[in-house]
Amino acid sequence: MSEDKPDSPADQTIAWIGVGNLATPIAVRLIAAGIRPTLYDIRADAIAPFAGKVEIAASLDEAVAGADLIFSTIPSHDALHAVATAVAASGKPGALWCDMSTVSPQASEEAAALLAGKDIAHLRAPVSGSVGQAE
């Protein structure tokens, strides 16, 4: 691995955007493994259980700025567009954005297009299932 890239997830700055039903168990597991992502969600009730355990970003731009890895689990096309806009504007060159939202391929393509020329990689990795499966 190059010298400018962290060696392990624990050494990387991680942002997680959208802490809903499926993402909450994933975030809990990350924290239990010693990984402290910066979290952001527009819903205060989604973030409340994580207060005092990890950094809570006040905005999308704050969440993604400086992150090596950005994960998102977003419920809609419009919300995904807002995240993609923030990643394109404030994301760190060389970062990887892994979008795990279950949205249309078109919405994902539009989000990826916003990153053109930004030196930010985009991975579409939609998830589906239930909270029990995520746990």
Q: What does the pLDDT profile of the chain (135 residues) look like in tens digits?
A: 444 555 565 678 999 999 988 889 989 999 999 999 999 999 999 999 999 999 999 999 999 999 999 999 998 999 999 999 999 999 999 999 999 998 999 999 999 999 988 999 999 988 877 777 767
Query: Under a CB-based contact definition with an 8 Å cutoff, are residues 120 and 96 in contact?
Result: yes
pTM for this entry: 0.87
Q: What whole-number percentage of the chain has pLDDT above 90?
A: 70
Ordered alpha helix ranges (H), 21-135 = 23-32, 44-47, 60-64, 77-90, 105-113, 131-134
* Residue 2, pLDDT score: 43
